[in-house]
Amino acid sequence: MRKSKLGILMLVLALLLVFTAGCGGQAEKDKGQADTEKIKLGFIYIGVPGDAGFTYSHDQGRQYLEKEIPEIETAILENVHEGADVERSLEQLIQDGCNIIVANSFGYGDAVLAVAKKYPDVKFLHCSGLDTEKNVSTYFGRIYQARYLSGMVAGAMTKNNSLGYVAAYKIPEVVRGINAYTLGAQAVNPNVKVKVVWTNTWFDPTKEKEAAKSLLETGCDVIAQHQDTPSAQQAAEEAGKYSIGYNSDMSKFAPNANLTSPVWNWGPYYVKTVKAVMDGTWKSEAYWGGLEDGIVDLAPISDKVPADIKKQVEAKKKEMTDKEWDVFTGPIKAQDGTVKVPEGKKMTDAEMLSFDWFVAGVEGNIGK
């Protein structure tokens, strides 16, 4: 009888152990699922996704992220102007449950750093930013590499050696792009000049188009841009001239004018970052990837461009992708003729990130 009772007791204990282990395993599984489900990204945009420009490229990256990691959730705030609206917008996204914030404009920097201090458990990704904190990463791509390649195309296609450039703000990011574009053009056409007009805005179709028209009126026959809409492309199209787009392939907006465009591909970066958050390996960083990462590229080159120029562009692209050469390798002279980068030397990342001078061949000013 005792043996029988002991056997029953042991059987009950065994069943309890199995049941408890099963529940514990399910609890851990449920916990893991909950951790994944609660990840929500808030995207704060300088423009609107329909601009075909910078915001459009970021939203394409957001959509790519949702497809690759469907269990996460995203939210968007559009047309958030740099200034007082930024902090309010960041706070709104956090109150809505976002624990990763993506801020896609340089001018959001101060607000991102201020809000990040208040919410140490929220992770912030600041595009083109300069300052990192424990919970703030900066990220950007070496778009200057693609700009150099687009400059090669423009330099080969100009008939009067006069290129126009519609530029947003006098900051290192924009200056770096203008310089890279100019050096690329000079690589195939040493006589080329690049005229710059500033709009002091990222997104203003009217200003962008008027700036392009002013450049066309001075004789520029290829128009490039560091702006967020295709308006400069359309001005070139209407004038029967060529153009170089930016952010996305802008050929559909100016099919006769557009020769190519430096483009962004943010999706893989967002996926890599979110996966790092999910598996607990995320750490703040200052990411600056290039052609080798695929975060920047050149849109298909128009059939109007000669085959030999296309081959030269592909060869130079391979050199940069393989890290055999980079754009700001000397000798490089400034506008006043002084040698800024001696032969055999290459600018450091810190020097490129603080660009405050134009290379020889640029017609324009930066000021202080």
Convert the pLDDT of each residue in 285-331 to its tens digit. 999 999 999 999 999 999 999 999 999 999 999 999 999 999 999 99
pLDDT per position as a tens digit, 11-46 = 444 444 444 444 444 434 333 333 444 899 999 999
Interhelix angle 205-217/231-239, nearest 10 degrees: 40
pLDDT per position as a tens digit, 318-341 = 999 999 999 999 999 999 999 999
Interatomic CA distance for residues 310 and 291, integer angstroms: 17
* Residue 20: predicted pLDDT: 42
pLDDT per position as a tens digit, 201-247 = 998 999 999 999 999 999 999 999 999 999 999 999 999 999 999 99
- Average pLDDT of span 163-189: 97
* Residue 112: predicted pLDDT: 97
Contact 182, 362 (CB under 8 A): yes
Contact 59, 49 (CB under 8 A): yes
Contact 198, 170 (CB under 8 A): yes
Closest by CA to 257, choosing from 196, 209, 314, is: 209
Task: Take residue 106 and report the two structure tokens written for it.
Answer: 């340089």
Residues β-bridged to residue 65: none
Interatomic CA distance for residues 366 and 349, integer angstroms: 20
* Residue 83: predicted pLDDT: 87
Task: Take residue 332 and report the two structure tokens written for it.
Answer: 């490089």
pLDDT per position as a tens digit, 123-162 = 999 999 989 999 999 999 999 999 999 999 999 999 999 9
- Check pLDDT > 90 for residue 92: yes
How does the average pLDDT of the chain come out, rounded?
91
- 143-261+299-363: CATH topology is Rossmann fold (3.40.50)
pLDDT per position as a tens digit, 41-86 = 999 999 899 878 899 999 999 999 999 999 999 999 999 998 889 9
Interatomic CA distance for residues 117 and 283, integer angstroms: 16
Q: Phi and psi at residue 226, in whole multiples of 5°?
A: -125, 75
Provide the CA 304 distance to its chain's centre, in angstroms.
28
* Residue 6: predicted pLDDT: 43
Contact 327, 145 (CB under 8 A): yes
- Check pLDDT > 70 for residue 258: yes
- 3-state class (DSSP) for residue 228: coil
Task: Take residue 218 and report the two structure tokens written for it.
Answer: 């001075």
List, by residue range, all CATH 3.40.50.2300 domains of the chain: 37-141+266-293, 143-261+299-363
Q: Which residue has the tokens 């957001």?
A: 62
Closest by CA to 173, choosing from 127, 205, 137, 231, is: 127
- 37-141+266-293: CATH topology is Rossmann fold (3.40.50)
Interatomic CA distance for residues 1 and 88, integer angstroms: 75
Q: Phi and psi at residue 180, in whole multiples of 5°?
A: -65, -45
* Residue 50: predicted pLDDT: 81
